Structure 1
Amino acid sequence: MVTIVVEHIFLLVIVTLISVLQNAFFATKVEREGKVQNTKTAAFKRVSCANRNCMDSYPTFLAVMWCAGLCLNQAPAAFAGVIYLVARQKYFVGYMGQTSQSTPGFMFGKRVLTFLILMCVVGIMNFLLMRYIGEEYKGTLEMITSAASTLLLIP
């Protein structure tokens, strides 16, 4: 029984652990910048602000990734999670240079979160259809979301 449960969440767990490591990397960057320079410098303020912005969106990311993975399919949800982490890294690095360089990472991350939210809605609708109408659309919906997850790579 436990093996079956772990099979259904294994990819989501891996992406969550990678995101924790990324958060630790961001915190280390802020700490290093604070020790190297005076905390009043513009570089420290940018790094600190980028870290704070990433941490503000982190609970939303985790909630929608897990909801999408559990309600519909873990593979496209985990893939979208990895893409979101790449976008968040791009945002953070771009924010350290100039704030205008962070816009592409921000916009791409927003698009990934929208995809995950749509996956959640589709998964919940599928459950409600199955529960109250008795028809099973999950196989078709999983195929559509798996195919649609590759569309995230298009700029």
Structure 2
Amino acid sequence: MLIYSGVRVSELLDLKRENVNIEERCFKVAESKTESGIRVVPIHDRTYPFFKKWYEDGNEYLLHTPDGKQFIYRNYYDSYWTPVMELIGCSHKPHDTRHTCISMMTEKEVSPTLIKKIVGHSGAMSLTEKVYTHVNVQELLEAINRI
């Protein structure tokens, strides 16, 4: 199980089923270390089947241990991330996927404002972007699906 590139691992591990809107293909990050981290995140078409399966499992936490408990970061990292990285011969850290996601969206000329909204980087937003820019889930989906 790899992670969704636009969010922090901790945000995914804390993601509760109640915060996923499977029909609209998005989820809400309800807890974050910053205010801008509280946001709606689109689910990329390629990751949607995974989210749908996890959602249909019916557990409180979308990502969970085989016995239905919430993952703790160390368990996720040691039991899932590290073995996959070793298997494919890479030495990346989970946070690297955020950098890659942002780079890929930039290469596909996704609006910087949409990128910031998806990954929760309001600190880099202008006052105009923060106050006057409102986007809907469909715009976010179109942006993430460009990669």
Q: TM-score, normalised by structure 1?
A: 0.28
Q: Radius of gyration: which is bigger?
A: 1
The structure that is helix-richer by fraction is 1
Using CA pairs below 8 Å that are at least 6 residues apart, which structure has the higher relative contact order? 2
Q: TM-score, normalised by structure 2?
A: 0.29
